[in-house]
Structures are given as structure tokens and as C-alpha cells.
Amino acid sequence: MESDQKGKGAATNDDSVDNELVPGRNSLMERNLRSLTETLHEKELVDLLVKLGMTFPQAAEEIRDSARLYLANQRLAVYGLPEKTTSETLCDAFSSSYGEIAEGHVMTDSATGKSRRFGFITFKKKNSLKKALEREGTIVDGKLSFHHLASESFDGAVATADVESRRLFVGDLSQDITTDMLLGFFSKYGEIEEGSVVYDEETRKSKEYGFVTFKTFQDAMKAINDQDKILGKSKLVVKTAYYKYKPKNL
């Protein structure tokens, strides 16, 4: 009897060794499983994953991680929203144009509750995201908004979007306008974080545009809303930096 048990134990050990020494066995199992799951419909796959997650905690954690990663890769950062835009109207605009939305919201100022004029949209399906990325902008509440893929973590994407909302493009600068002159002019609207005139690397001549980043979104809006922005001999074109500017001579 004892020898039989030892024999069984030995056979079990031999099986585990065989599994380790024959990697093709796992590969064959994977191919078979893939072939079988390809015959299942989406609802059947969802039911199966739910059952696995309920039975095995580790599987549940892997399902959660995969879902988070998938949704993060479907997220768009949306800029230039009208102040009146709500999370609901943002979602309505994108769902009607591209497809089903998993989640979406407009970011607001924690102190005032007012919109920071940017937000995020997460699509349920990749083809909806693809359709959105094929277009430069989307009409939201009657105004053209701009968007791009927010490939960072959510916190990172919020930080990036926050900077973008405070960063202004300044066009139609005179050739003689320097960075100091640019910053001096815009400092009347509020504290500036950074800014510069853009120069050609070869000729070192001004490209007649630059960028200014304010400390707060409110000060950036002051600069945009002021209609009388004349520096030197030129009336300036001032837009949020995600705006695609084309010089007058193009």
C-alpha cells in the first residue's frame, strides 16, 4: 500500500516535471483556449469573466487592472470648452458624434465651482476613439473644442490639461518684440509662470509668435478676453495654446 502511494506521488511529481520540461504543452493549451473563446459572444465572455472573478480573487484583480488600463487608453483630454458646458452636455456631444461613452466630466475649480474649461471623455470602444482622433475638434455647446489622446495616468492628464488651459499662444508679433517685452506686456493680466518669443534656430530671427503661461486660469482668460491687445505696431492674436494658428500670409 505504502509503495503504491509512493508510486502515485512519484507519478505526480513526474507530471509536474513534464509540464515544466515541455513548454509546448502550455502553448498548445493557450491556442486551444483562444480558439474556443473566439466562438463566444461578448455577453458570454463577460459572464465567464465575472464568474472567474467571483471564484478567484487573483483573477478579479487582474480583470480590474486590465479594465483600468483599457479605459486609460480610451481617454481624450478636451480643451476650449464653453464656460456653460457641463459633464452631461460634454458627453452628449461626443456620444452623438462618435459612439458610446464609458465616462466623461468637466473639470471645475474646487474653490469657485466654475468650469476650468477642459474635461475628459472615455469611450467604450476603440473605434469610437479612432473616429474622434481623425477629427481636429468637436462642436460642444455651439463652440469648437480641441482634443487629443490623454495617454498619461488620470492625475498626470489633469496636471497636463491644467497647464494647457493656462498656456496662451500669442501671434502676429512684430519682428522687434523680445521675450522681455512680451512678458512685460502680459504681466498686467496677472502673474506669469513662463513665456518666450519663438526664434528660428538658424537665422535667430523671430518667428513672430510666442507663448505665455499664467499662474492661474482666470488670469489667462483675462488676457484672452481683453480685445485691445496692441504691442508695438501690431494687434496681437491671443488664443489658448492648443488652438492651431495659421499666420496671415498662409
Say which amino acid occupies 8: K
pLDDT tens per residue across all 250 residues of the chain: 444 544 444 444 444 444 444 556 677 877 887 787 778 777 787 787 788 778 888 877 776 655 555 555 678 889 889 889 999 999 999 999 999 998 999 998 877 888 888 899 999 888 898 899 888 789 999 988 888 888 655 667 677 777 888 899 999 999 999 999 999 999 999 999 999 999 999 999 999 999 999 998 889 989 988 988 999 889 999 988 765 433 444 3
Length of the chain: 250
118-to-96, 175, 211 alpha-carbon distances in Å = 19, 33, 19
Q: Domain extents for the chain? A: 73-151, 166-240
The answer to whether 73-151 and 166-240 have equal CATH topology is yes
CATH architecture of 166-240: 2-Layer Sandwich (3.30)
Q: Is 231 left (phi over 0), alpha (psi -120 to 50) or beta?
A: beta
Angle (CA) 164-168-174 rounded to 5° is 155
Q: Domain 73-151 is in which class?
A: alpha beta
